[in-house]
Amino acid sequence: MDQLDHGHDTAWRESHPDLERLRRARRLRPGPFGFCQEIGPDAAAFARLSESVPLRSDLDFLLSTGSPAGRLYAAILLREVDPVGAQSVLAHLAGDPSRVVCDLPCSCTIVMTNVGAVARWLQAHAGSGFPAGAPETDREWMGELGSRRSDETDPPGENP
């Protein structure tokens, strides 16, 4: 993943810090999260990119080299640039079993799921940006991976 290709080198990384941050993102956090509605560095980068709308070629690069969360960020941003192309990308990502942690915006819910489940949810909520709210049922996203609120703790001796 760290190997840059398609002509994207160190100069590209330095001139696209927000895309590079999302490319390496470890979790999907597209908006304010938690009791204090914290906006972390990934959410801030996502917000700036949502306003500036990156080039399709940069989003394609993010899709091909990004972390699981990075690929989802790219697909969400692509909805602004090319809604039809975004649906095609989401259809492709719908089969991706890579695990991803998603902090649902405007909530205290952390969902451990996979790229495919998030992609299917995004497909079902056509439009731009990240849909408001959360999946209607836990099973839409979680399957066997589980979910927890950020204020929950593990019982002694257990670490799911």
Residue 128 located in a structural domain: yes
Mean pLDDT of 141-149: 48
Residue 5 located in a structural domain: no
Full residue range of the structural domain in which residue 98 is found: 10-149
**Strand bridging mode 109-114 / 99-103:** antiparallel
Higher local confidence (pLDDT), 6 or 60: 60
Half-sphere exposure of 123 (CA within 13 A, CB side): 18
The whole-number pLDDT of residue 152 equals 42
pTM score: 0.77
Residue 110 located in a structural domain: yes
Rounded to 5°, the CA angle 53-100-43 comes to 35
Residue 160 located in a structural domain: no
> Residue 155 — pLDDT band, cuts 50, 70, 90?
very low
Residue 156 located in a structural domain: no
- Number of structural domains found in the chain: 1
Residue 3 located in a structural domain: no
pLDDT digits (tens, 9 = 90+) for 36-50: 777 788 888 988 888
